Amino acid sequence: MEYVNILLMFLKAFAVGGLICAIAQLVINFTDLTAGKILVIFMLAGIALTALGLYQPIVEWAGAGATVPISGFGYLLANGAMRGAQEGLFQALTGSLAAASAGVSAAVIFSFIMALIFRSHTKYN
């Protein structure tokens, strides 16, 4: 029975993450927006949905399917700011940084380690 629960958890994450990616692909295909603008729109959408209380139920239902895409980063920032706001104004400003610091730090550290191990070069077609 445990395996069924794990499979169901994977399926829910795949469905929600896939839906977010499919929406992004539609935006890429049918608009002239640049990749940077699309990333900002999705991050702001995560912030807005969190502020409206709509993203938390999605996260609870889909888990990593909702937190891994860039909209999940917006959720993380907004959630940290809202938690910090309960403690005071300064914590409201720094709460999002505290919430995202572990993930950002890990990305920087692992990128540095990979840069030491592998040599970058220009890709020629």
Place 125 in a pLDDT band, splitting at 50, 70 and 90.
Answer: low
Binned at pLDDT 50, 70 and 90, residue 124 comes out as: confident
Instruction: Check residue 43 and give its pLDDT.
Output: 94
Instruction: Please tell me the predicted confidence (pLDDT) of residue 89.
Output: 86
Label residue 14 by pLDDT band (50, 70, 90).
very high
The 3-state secondary structure of 34-47, one letter per residue: CHHHHHHHHHHHHH
Q: Do 63 and 53 meet the contact criterion of CB atoms below 8 Å apart?
A: no
Mutual angle of helices 35-51 and 70-85, in 10-degree steps: 40
Which pTM was predicted? 0.79
Cα separation, 124 vs 99, whole angstroms: 40
44, pLDDT greater than 70: yes
What's the pLDDT score for residue 96?
87
